């Protein structure tokens, strides 16, 4: 039997700066594989829009591998079965992949595979591809470690190989073949390294200077933010190459985006160190406080809450598969406070919509924006104020909420005031053309604040908070967080 090594591509869909590929090639002949796992794609945090993006990334990866004489082998099934099938033809010396920090499912899959490879005496080598460290006991020196990882030399594209292992590959299935519910995302950006590099270069050349001024408003963010997140999530670009390219430009805005790339790994590290955070609240007294409500959840998810700025953001997200940070935070805050929905349910809904869905960032952010970490200031965004601040003329609202297109600007953020206007234009009837607000945005926020105050006044609440601070917060931040904790009631009054 011929001896080979498997290079198992996961969320590292590139050949440049890919240590698993580079080390696999050094070890001998390789077969590059990508396994499409139907059980993973059937999970409620996955969606057809994400698969379509990945499909494009795989076509691009396949072409890049062809250029260096390698054939990407696609398999639909589970990884163990794929390895067993290949073991019938080859002697598998080793498996080379990156260290994945995914969701609970991928964590368990990797645990099972570890047992399997041990029993079969196959060495499985995993390589770090982001600034996230396995088995870390404390956050001490985490930033230095991150810095070290980011400053390592970029691994160039491998040179062309002089052998060919030509075994049949499955074709890439459509969303329908994978039994994924089709969710229209007609303005989604395209997947693949070429697209990612183009976006990175355009951003560095034309946009980075004004980056900081484009972050908050959805009117500017689509053009002004890097929108590199899907390429980082699926590994079309390595975070190290992005950090190094940004540092090289030394332009205004470099530092701001550099620190966000730092956050990228900082949040994933939290889930790596405590995988239960995907399902369970950081603070135990915040568990089970909210109630499911299908009517609210559906109205929110479809952009039919009757709050124009919320609906515009959600409809834009539904069509693009992306929205800027502040609007994500506002959407989540509205679901968790005004609608009082469990973050796990609204979080799943958002996860499916994001083509950049990254479990480590996503679930920690969902918990932060829902107040369940108890170590971050509680931000109850006022969606009307956000609208006035970031879309004063109602341009974004009119783009996405066509029903309000003819409403005069002075009513665009609060169309329930339109009665005065209705006298002139009887064609618009609130509740018929566009829904009445499903909650009163002011009173529902007030109710949420009262409930939060009750919970935080329970005995032992702040002792638990202090334990969380000890575990999750870096030494630098710890002092100020512990101090703030003593004045925590003030944090509840923050209205954004
Ligand atoms: C509820 C909620 C859920 C989120 N879910 C995800 C997710 O699933 N995947 C994801 O990549 N980001 C998520 N974010 C963080 C953030 O909104 C996105 O990273 C950012 O909007 C991506 O756009 P961009 O690439 O243009 O970012 P830029 O502003 O151009 O920043 C560059 C990169 O820095 C990183 N970054 C930026 N902001 C953050 C942040 N706040 N936290 C961590 N990393 C950051 C991302 O990798 C991003 O691509 C979430 C935020 C919230 C509030």
Tell me how far the alpha carbon of residue 296 lies from the centroid of ligand 1, in angstroms: 26
Phi-psi region of 171 (alpha: psi -120 to 50; beta: other; left: phi over 0): beta
User: How far does CA 189 lie from the centroid of its chain?
Assistant: 15
Percent of the chain at pLDDT > 90 equals: 83
The pLDDT tens digits of the residues spanning 440-466 come to: 999 999 999 999 999 999 998 888 888
Q: Which two tokens stand for residue 260?
A: 């966000």
The pLDDT tens digits of the residues spanning 268-285 come to: 999 998 899 999 998 999
> Taking 90 as the threshold, does the pLDDT of residue 429 lie above it?
no
Ligand 1 proximity of 239 Cβ (cutoff 6 Å): no
H or E element, residue 484: helix 475-485
Domains of the chain plus CATH, in order, are 2-129 (3.40.50.620), 193-273 (1.25.40.80), 284-491 (1.10.579.10)
Tell me, what DSSP letter sits at residue 404? Answer: G
H or E element, residue 36: strand 30-36
User: How far does CA 40 lie from the centroid of its chain?
Assistant: 16
The whole-angstrom separation of Cα 267 and Cα 277 is 11
pLDDT for position 84: 97
Ligand 1 proximity of 213 Cβ (cutoff 6 Å): no
Ligand 1 proximity of 214 Cβ (cutoff 6 Å): no
> Taking 50 as the threshold, does the pLDDT of residue 488 lie above it?
no
Atom number of ligand 1 nearest to Cα 261: 34
> Taking 80 as the threshold, does the pLDDT of residue 415 lie above it?
yes
Atom number of ligand 1 nearest to Cα 325: 17
Tell me, what DSSP letter sits at residue 8? Answer: E
Tell me how far the alpha carbon of residue 325 lies from the centroid of ligand 1, in angstroms: 6
Ligand 1 proximity of 227 Cβ (cutoff 6 Å): yes
Mean pLDDT, the chain, whole residue set: 93
Tell me how far the alpha carbon of residue 340 lies from the centroid of ligand 1, in angstroms: 24
Ligand 1 proximity of 233 Cβ (cutoff 6 Å): yes
Overall size of the chain counted in residues: 496
Tell me how far the alpha carbon of residue 263 lies from the centroid of ligand 1, in angstroms: 9
CB 350 within 8 A of CB 328: yes
Tell me how far the alpha carbon of residue 45 lies from the centroid of ligand 1, in angstroms: 17
Beta pairing, strands 123-127 & 90-98: parallel
Q: Predicted confidence band at 433 (pLDDT cuts at 50, 70, 90)?
A: confident
* Distance set, CA 170 to CA 35, 82, 173 (Å): 10, 12, 8
The whole-angstrom separation of Cα 302 and Cα 464 is 37
Average pLDDT of the segment spanning 333-344: 98
Tell me how far the alpha carbon of residue 283 lies from the centroid of ligand 1, in angstroms: 23
pLDDT for position 479: 62
Residue nearest to atom 53 of ligand 1 (CA): 329
Ligand 1 proximity of 344 Cβ (cutoff 6 Å): no
pLDDT for position 472: 72
Ligand 1 proximity of 260 Cβ (cutoff 6 Å): yes
Average pLDDT of the segment spanning 96-112: 96
Residue nearest to atom 37 of ligand 1 (CA): 260
Ligand 1 proximity of 299 Cβ (cutoff 6 Å): no
pLDDT for position 490: 43
pLDDT for position 156: 96
> Taking 80 as the threshold, does the pLDDT of residue 160 lie above it?
yes
The whole-angstrom separation of Cα 317 and Cα 349 is 11
Pocket residue to mutate for ligand 1, from 262, 327, 365, most atoms within 8 A of Cβ: 365
Residue nearest to atom 5 of ligand 1 (CA): 362
pLDDT for position 495: 43
Handedness of CA 20, 22, 24, 30 (dihedral sign): positive
Ligand 1 proximity of 220 Cβ (cutoff 6 Å): no
> Taking 80 as the threshold, does the pLDDT of residue 421 lie above it?
no
CB 493 within 8 A of CB 383: no
Tell me how far the alpha carbon of residue 363 lies from the centroid of ligand 1, in angstroms: 12
Atom number of ligand 1 nearest to Cα 359: 8
Output the pTM of the full model: 0.95
Q: Predicted confidence band at 432 (pLDDT cuts at 50, 70, 90)?
A: confident
Pocket residue to mutate for ligand 1, from 325, 331, 357, 358, most atoms within 8 A of Cβ: 325
Tell me how far the alpha carbon of residue 426 lies from the centroid of ligand 1, in angstroms: 43
Q: Within 13 A of 473's CA, how many CA atoms are on the CB side?
A: 19
Atom number of ligand 1 nearest to Cα 328: 53
Q: Predicted confidence band at 419 (pLDDT cuts at 50, 70, 90)?
A: low
In three-state secondary structure terms, 49 is: helix
pLDDT for position 164: 87
Residue nearest to atom 12 of ligand 1 (CA): 361
H or E element, residue 411: none
Tell me how far the alpha carbon of residue 24 lies from the centroid of ligand 1, in angstroms: 31
H or E element, residue 34: strand 30-36
Q: Predicted confidence band at 70 (pLDDT cuts at 50, 70, 90)?
A: very high
Phi first, then psi, for residue 34 (nearest 5°) are: -130, 130
> Taking 90 as the threshold, does the pLDDT of residue 194 lie above it?
yes
């Amino acid at each position: 039997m011929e001896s080979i090594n498997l290079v198992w591509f996961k969320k590292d869909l590139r050949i440049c700066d890919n240590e698993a590929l580079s080390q696999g090639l050094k070890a001998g002949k390789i077969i590059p594989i990508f396994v499409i796992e139907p059980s993973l794609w059937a999970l409620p945090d996955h969606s057809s829009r994400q698969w379509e993006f990945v499909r494009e990334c795989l076509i691009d990866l396949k072409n890049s591998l062809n250029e260096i004489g390698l054939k990407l082998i696609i398999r639909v099934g589970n990884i163990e079965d794929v390895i067993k099938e290949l073991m019938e033809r080859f002697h598998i010396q080793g498996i080379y992949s990156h260290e994945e920090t995914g969701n609970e499912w991928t964590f368990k899959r990797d645990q099972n595979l570890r047992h399997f490879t041990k029993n079969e005496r196959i060495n499985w080598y995993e390589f770090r591809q982001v600034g996230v460290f396995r088995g870390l006991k404390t956050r001490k020196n985490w930033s230095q470690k991150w810095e070290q990882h980011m400053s390592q030399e970029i691994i160039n594209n491998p040179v062309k190989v002089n052998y060919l292992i030509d075994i049949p590959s499955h074709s890439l299935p459509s969303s329908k073949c994978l039994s994924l519910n089709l969710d229209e995302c007609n303005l989604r950006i395209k997947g693949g390294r070429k697209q990612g590099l183009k976006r990175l270069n355009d951003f560095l050349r034309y946009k980075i200077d004004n980056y900081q001024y484009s972050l908050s408003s959805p009117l500017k963010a689509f053009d002004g933010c890097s929108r590199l997140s899907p390429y980082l999530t699926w590994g079309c670009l390595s975070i190290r190459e992005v950090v190094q390219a940004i540092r090289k430009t030394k332009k205004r805005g470099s530092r701001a985006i550099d620190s966000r790339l730092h956050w990228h790994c900082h949040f994933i590290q939290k889930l790596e160190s405590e995988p239960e955070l995907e399902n369970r609240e950081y603070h135990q007294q915040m568990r089970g406080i909210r109630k499911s409500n299908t009517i609210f959840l559906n109205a929110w998810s479809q952009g039919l809450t009757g709050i124009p700025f919320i609906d515009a953001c959600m409809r834009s997200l539904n069509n693009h598969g992306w929205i800027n940070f502040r609007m994500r935070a506002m959407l989540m805050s509205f679901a968790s406070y005004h609608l009082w929905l469990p973050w796990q349910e609204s979080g799943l809904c958002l996860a499916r919509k994001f083509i950049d869905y990254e479990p480590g960032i996503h679930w920690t952010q969902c918990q932060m924006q829902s107040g369940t970490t108890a170590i971050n200031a509680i931000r109850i965004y006022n969606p009307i104020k956000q609208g006035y601040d970031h879309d004063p003329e109602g341009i974004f609202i009119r783009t996405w909420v066509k029903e309000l297109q003819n409403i005069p600007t002075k009513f665009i953020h609060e169309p329930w005031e339109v009665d005065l206007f209705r006298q002139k234009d009887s064609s618009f009837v609130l509740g018929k053309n566009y829904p009445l607000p499903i909650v009163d945005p002011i009173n529902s926020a007030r109710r949420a604040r009262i409930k939060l105050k009750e919970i935080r006044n329970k005995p032992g609440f702040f002792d638990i908070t202090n334990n969380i601070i000890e575990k999750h917060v870096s030494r630098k931040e710890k002092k100020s967080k512990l101090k703030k904790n003593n004045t925590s009631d003030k944090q509840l009054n923050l209205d954004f």
